[in-house]
Amino acid sequence: MTELTVGDVRDLEAVDIFLFSNGDHNTPPRKYHLNTDAFVMWDDTLKSLGRSHFGVDDTVIDIYTISGHKIDDPSQLIHQAAYVAVKPPAPFMQTGYENYLIRATK
């Protein structure tokens, strides 16, 4: 099965992603519904996600895959995938996010 990314699905209007907090693999990830129109202003999207996720104004976040690869561009996002929200300058912390996802599907 091929994964749908923002970059290769031209008519995709929105992407649903799931965000873990960096280092917290015991708490469920939060689901975010992102309109692809907002990706033109990617930095603003990251700021909005940071504010929503951490509840702090002006928190810009970096998004990483659960295996630790930084998402530099919204075209790298995969619909319905899990990611990790990291507040710079903190490094990505690998704590077994995939294990949570495996347990959650049982």
pLDDT digits (tens, 9 = 90+) for 22-77: 999 888 999 999 998 888 899 999 999 999 999 877 688 999 999 999 999 999 99
**Confidence (pLDDT) at 9:** 46
CATH of domain 14-96: 3.10.20.230
**Confidence (pLDDT) at 53:** 94
Closest CA to 20 of 105, 92, 103: 92
Least confident segment among 5-9, 43-47, 72-76, 80-84? 5-9
pTM to 2 decimal places: 0.86
Q: So where are the chain's domains?
A: 14-96
DSSP state of 78: B
Strands of 62-65's sheet in order across = 30-35, 14-21, 81-86, 62-65, 70-71
